[in-house]
Structure formats: structure tokens, C-alpha cells
């Protein structure tokens, strides 16, 4: 078996970066918005897309590496909704909302650069 081809990309961030880089050859993506599924959403990817002039929005898994512990923790009744801004530019925002489901309490996270 030979070495991987140019299309062999590992990791979810790598896949999205590869696809965006290939799309940029055909069209200007600045000013566009990308919505992605929770498995592809990450803070480093959102920052990279913002650096390319592309805004993004997507739900985020609470066990994602790099999230502060206060975002991951489930809060009580009085703190059901919180917003966390990245300093100093405030271009990256993380919304945390706690919902009651039949299976228990769940923390829903939304990452946005819009």
C-alpha cells in the first residue's frame, strides 16, 4: 500500500480546512457564513475561518477539548443561560443553555462568530 494521496486528510478541523481551501480556488468566500454540525465545531476552527473572512455558527459538544470548566459545568435553575465572549475583540461568542430532557439535564452550547 502506497502513501496517502493529497485528498487524505485526518481530523475534523483538517477536513473543513481542506474543503474551504479547495473551494477558495473557485470562488471568493469572504463574507460568507458556514453552519456546521456539532462534531465539526471547535474554537480553533472558528478562529481560523474568521481569519479567512468567513463567519461560522454551530452547536458544540460539551466534552470538546479547550472549553473552560465553567462552560462545561451544568448550572442551577438561576443560571440557565449564559454568554461567554472572547476578549479583547469580542468576535467569538459561546452561548450556554441548560435544558431539562426526559433523560436528564443537558447543556447545549452554541459557538458563533456572526
85-100 tens-digit pLDDT: 877 778 899 888 888 8
With respect to residue 96, please indicate whether it lies within any of the assigned structural domains.
Answer: yes
| Res. 53: pLDDT tops 70 | yes
| Res. 3: pLDDT tops 90 | no
The boundaries of the domain holding residue 42 are: 12-112
With respect to residue 70, please indicate whether it lies within any of the assigned structural domains.
Answer: yes
Sign for the pseudo-dihedral over CA of 85, 86, 87, 89? negative
With respect to residue 5, please indicate whether it lies within any of the assigned structural domains.
Answer: no
With respect to residue 51, please indicate whether it lies within any of the assigned structural domains.
Answer: yes
**Banded model confidence at residue 55, pLDDT cuts 50, 70, 90:** very high
Higher pLDDT, 64 or 57: 57
With respect to residue 3, please indicate whether it lies within any of the assigned structural domains.
Answer: no
Q: What share of the chain is helix, strand, coil (3-state, %, to 5)?
A: 25, 30, 45
Q: How many residues does the chain have?
A: 114
Total domains present in the chain: 1
With respect to residue 4, please indicate whether it lies within any of the assigned structural domains.
Answer: no
Percentage of residues of the chain with pLDDT beyond 70: 89
| Res. 2: pLDDT tops 60 | no
pTM (two decimals) = 0.80
**Residue 113 CB neighbour total at 10 angstroms:** 19
**Banded model confidence at residue 52, pLDDT cuts 50, 70, 90:** very high
26 three-state secondary structure: coil
Residue 20 · residue 12 · CB < 8 Å? no
6-42 tens-digit pLDDT: 667 777 888 888 889 889 999 999 999 999 888 888 8
With respect to residue 1, please indicate whether it lies within any of the assigned structural domains.
Answer: no
With respect to residue 33, please indicate whether it lies within any of the assigned structural domains.
Answer: yes
Amino acid at each position: 500500500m502506497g502513501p496517502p494521496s493529497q485528498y487524505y486528510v485526518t481530523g475534523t478541523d483538517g477536513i473543513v480546512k481542506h474543503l474551504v481551501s479547495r473551494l477558495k480556488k473557485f470562488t471568493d468566500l469572504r463574507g460568507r457564513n458556514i453552519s456546521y454540525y456539532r462534531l465539526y465545531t471547535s474554537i480553533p476552527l472558528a478562529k481560523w475561518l474568521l481569519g479567512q473572512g468567513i463567519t461560522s455558527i454551530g452547536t458544540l459538544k460539551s466534552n470538546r477539548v479547550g472549553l473552560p470548566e465553567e462552560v462545561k459545568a451544568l448550572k442551577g435553575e438561576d443560571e440557565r443561560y449564559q454568554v461567554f465572549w472572547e476578549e479583547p475583540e469580542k468576535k467569538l461568542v459561546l452561548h450556554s443553555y441548560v435544558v431539562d430532557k426526559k433523560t436528564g439535564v443537558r447543556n447545549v452550547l452554541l459557538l458563533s462568530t456572526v
